[in-house]
């Protein structure tokens, strides 16, 4: 099955609004000059979203958020609800990034609640999974990722599966400059597809878009993105450099 490639930039807690505008303007300009073949999304900090929505109105670049609350509204100081994101035209949200799992105690159960609430409001999740270095060294990487998939996806109904993007991001490769080899990444993507297929069947598993994330850059993107099970990339550090991010987008098309 031919799945469209998606290149998503996760800006994390980087860029002031004016720095972010400069960066997104370069992407908008590049896309106008030569339309991207791959689908492209950017996930800037919350403070940029409204401004970016206006800028990206007539562009094919999709605007994503880095997180969302698992509650709809109320006394949850500091949280942002799916209703607020929907209101300003957000189409995707990154859920359970390993930094949120590690620093903010985000569990599979919380990820499930967040995914349910955003799907209900027609926003698509990019659900992050991936093992730590210790898990890989102890040969527990398949078990950990299987648990992250079954604890969340297995609790959803069949029709939700095509609306979900998975990002396989081995924690040891995030922001470290150490990338999974194309074979390591592709093996895990194929394993994830098998786990999903066991519960939902091969057809739905075949439609699932699985991104790789972990120190993707202009130099390694081509090889990673040419692997049969790798449907795109979730890019952290390299998405903050316009030239690098554009080269990754180019490598996907
Ligand atoms: C990420 O934060 O999702 C990520 C993959 O970061 P980096 O590309 O910097 O490793």
pLDDT, residue 176, reads: 86
Please identify, by atom number, the ligand 1 atom nearest to the C-alpha of residue 173: 10
Task: Count Cα atoms within 13 angstroms, Cβ side, for 165.
Answer: 29
Atom of ligand 1 nearest to the CA of 239: 8
Q: 147, 190 in Cβ contact below 8 A? A: no
Determine the Cα–Cα distance for residues 146 and 155; give it in Å rounded to an integer.
13
Give residues (CB < 6 A) around ligand 1.
10, 97, 169, 174-175, 213-216, 234-238
Q: What is the 3-state secondary structure (H, E, C) of 85-147?
A: HHHCCCCEEEECCHHHHHHHCCCHHHHHHHHHHHHHCCCEEEEEECCCHHHHHCCCHHHHHHH
* Element counts in the chain: helices (H) and strands (E): 11, 8
Sign of the Cα torsion 50, 52, 55, 60 reads negative
48, 97, 124, 189: which is the annotated catalytic residue?
97
Low-confidence ranges of the chain (pLDDT < 50): none
pLDDT given for residue 134 in this prediction: 93
Confirm whether 169 is a catalytic residue: yes
Report the pLDDT value the prediction gives residue 178, as an integer from 0 to 100.
86
pLDDT digits (tens, 9 = 90+) for 174-203: 888 888 899 999 999 999 999 999 999 999
Provide the pLDDT for residue 163: 96
Which numbered atom of ligand 1 lies nearest the CA of 174?
10
Q: Are 149 and 165 in contact (CB under 8 A)?
A: no
Summarised one tens digit per residue, pLDDT across range 55-65 is 999 899 999 99
CB-based contacts of 66: which residues, under 8 Å, 6+ apart? 10, 11, 12, 43, 45, 46, 93, 94, 97
196 by Cβ neighbours in 10 Å (0-12 / 13-18 / 19+) ranks as buried
Q: What is the pLDDT of residues 134-153, one digit of tens each?
A: 999 999 999 999 999 999 99
State what percent of residues in the chain have pLDDT above 90.
95
Catalytic member of 99, 131, 169, 244 = 169
Confidence at residue 38, expressed as pLDDT on a 0 to 100 scale: 97
Instruction: Give me the residues paired with residue 6 across strands.
Output: 39, 232
Q: Which domains does the chain have, with CATH numbers?
A: 6-252 (3.20.20.70)
- pLDDT at position 42, please? 98
- Ligand 1 pocket test, pick from 130, 214, 241 with the greatest ligand atom count within 8 Å of Cβ, gives 214
| pLDDT reported for residue 253 | 84
CA 201 to ligand 1 centroid distance, Å:
30
pLDDT at 179: 87
């Amino acid at each position: 099955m031919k799945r469209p490639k998606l290149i998503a930039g996760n800006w994390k807690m980087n860029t002031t609004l004016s720095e972010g505008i400069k960066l997104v303007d370069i992407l908008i300009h590049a896309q106008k000059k030569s339309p991207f073949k791959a689908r492209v999304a950017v996930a800037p900090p919350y403070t940029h979203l409204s401004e970016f929505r206006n800028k990206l109105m007539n562009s094919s670049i999709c605007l994503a958020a880095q997180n969302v609350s698992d509650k709809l509204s109320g006394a949850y100081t500091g949280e942002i609800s799916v209703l607020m994101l929907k209101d300003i035209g957000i189409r995707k949200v990154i859920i359970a990034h390993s930094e949120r799992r590690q620093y903010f105690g985000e569990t599979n159960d919380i990820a499930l609640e967040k995914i349910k609430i955003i799907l209900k409001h027609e926003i698509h999740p990019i659900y992050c999974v991936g093992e730590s270095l210790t898990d890989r060294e102890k040969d527990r990487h398949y078990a950990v990722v299987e648990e992250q998939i079954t604890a969340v996806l297995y609790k959803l109904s069949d029709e939700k599966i095509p609306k979900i993007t998975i990002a396989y991001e081995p924690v040891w490769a995030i922001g470290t400059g150490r990338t999974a080899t194309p074979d390591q990444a592709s093996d895990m993507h194929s394993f994830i597809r098998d786990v999903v297929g066991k519960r939902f069947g091969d057809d739905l598993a075949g439609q699932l878009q699985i991104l790789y994330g972990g120190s993707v850059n202009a130099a390694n993107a081509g090889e990673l993105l040419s692997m049969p099970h790798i449907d795109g990339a979730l890019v952290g550090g390299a998405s903050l450099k316009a030239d690098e991010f554009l080269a990754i987008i180019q490598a996907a098309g």
